[in-house]
Amino acid sequence: MSSTTTVPYRLEFSVEVPGTPEQVWQALATAPGISAWFLPTELEEREGGALHFSMGPGMGSDGRVTGWDPPRRLEYQEDWAALMGVDPDALSPMTSEFVVEARSGGTCVVRVTTSGFGTGAAWEAEWWEDMGPAWLPSFDALRLYLADFAGQEATFMEVSVPHPGDEPAVWAALRDALAPGEEGSVVEVCGATGRVERVGEKHALLRLTAPVPGMLSLFVHADGESSVAAGVRASLFSEDAAEYVRREEPAWRAWLAGLAVPATRS
């Protein structure tokens, strides 16, 4: 018996960000803008245009622009079935809509809705339940990008290292390495200096000041059944950022590999 996609899933939230609607649109609806605060992105800037989010070597999500009304509304659909590796008819496309509303005082509210239809499988509900907390920290990065780097193109760096153990244990080790790490504090980590902007359950965001300006996220996520990846993801904004990545990426990898993760009890 074939499955039918009749079970609705929906996420809704809003974020207030600095900038004019045109500045916010540049960050939300252009490839350089999205790549600066989210993931390396390819985007044809028109209704019907192709969209690709890069999620690492050989990994990504493909989609298409289904709504285009600058500088107010962007909508796109991603191939949720292909992303999850299931039958093309098993899941509907995943639709995301961004609506930009100007506010007084030089800010805008971005209202975000992501929705799709599945079969009601347990893994689907779990995936949607996890998606909101996993995606929401990106909008702290959007806010910081618009506050300090609006319109600038980023050089991207991402490094992750697997560790045995569970997410709380690996995150505790990463959090300890960020000490003192309270929001608003200045920290030095792997030769870089920055201010801690936000700390969540499995994620922290830093505003880097030296040796290159930018934004750096520290995070953990499940990496298979028996390991957890500890990672850093950075958007850097300077002429020598590419050279910094080439020179320092091995040091970040070694720093992540050296985290003092406590042994998992059997």
Average pLDDT over residues 175-194: 93
Q: Name the residue type at position 147.
A: A
Omega within 30 of 0 (cis) for the link into 8:
no
> Given a cut of 90, is residue 133 above it in pLDDT?
no
- Residue 2 has a pLDDT of 47
| Dihedral sign, Cα of residue 178, residue 201, residue 141, residue 37 | positive
- Asked if 216 contacts 233 with a C-beta cutoff of 8 angstroms, the reply is yes
Give the pairing type, strands 203-210 and 214-222: antiparallel
* Residue 58 per-residue DSSP state: T
Average confidence score pLDDT of the chain: 93
pTM: 0.92
Structural domains of the chain, with CATH: 7-148 (3.30.530.20), 155-257 (3.30.530.20)
Residues 80-104, mean pLDDT to the nearest whole number: 92
